[in-house]
Structure 1
Amino acid sequence: MAKTIMIVDDSASMRQVVGIALKGAGYDVLEGRDGKDALAKLTGQKVHLIISDVNMPNMDGIAFVSAVKLLPAYRFTPVIMLTTETDLDKKNASRAAGAKAWVVKPFKPEQLLDAVQKLCLP
């Protein structure tokens, strides 16, 4: 059975690029347009990993990760931040919120898939 990964990014083209890479590697994909939209879509189904942007409207990635970690079904779901952001304070804040990895855009699909494989546990 394929593992499910949620992509959270306000850029439709970025969700598409990441989705193509993940689907090509055999993963099922859920999408959220921003943190608020993604949070509404987390309804208890098994999600093995979340990949989130940092800078988004409505609810940014750091607030989203903090909110996800309060949900019992997703408290232990690993999160990768995929962002253009290089600010050390934001990186530290995302780690404090519960993110496990940080991948900077632009990225190589194999770089992202390597991080996914390390964190996407059964």
Structure 2
Amino acid sequence: MDRLGALADYVIRRALGFAGLAAATLMLSLSYDLVLALRMGAWVAAATLLGLLIQAHRMPRRNMRHSELWALAVDHGVADRLPDQGRGAMMAAVMRDRLLWHAERVAALALALWLLDGLALAVSAPR
């Protein structure tokens, strides 16, 4: 089960890495205005959080045989060690659990960016 969780983390973190790269590129392109850059980073993090929550909500009804996690589990021999009955449901439960764990971290990042945005706005506001 730990190996399946590690594979689920790999799948999720790879996708989050691409989202993070997009957010960093967007924030860097808006670096001329710190408030705008932080605000856009917070919006991208919030949109990523929404995507993670939607995926976690849909996971119990998903056919796991057509997922990247299934392909990795077969390649690494993890799928063979799972019971035949309920294999897909077990994978979906692990994936849902890991999605929610990552969603908590992305929510903390979004909150931190919103707070930094507010702080930067307060500091840069004309008096």
TM over 0.5: no
Please indicate the TM-score interval, normalised by the length of the shorter structure: under 0.3
Normalising by structure 2, we get a TM-score of 0.22
Normalising by structure 1, we get a TM-score of 0.23
Structure in which a larger fraction of residues adopt helix: 2
Largest Rg, 1 or 2: 2
Structure in which a larger fraction of residues adopt strand: 1
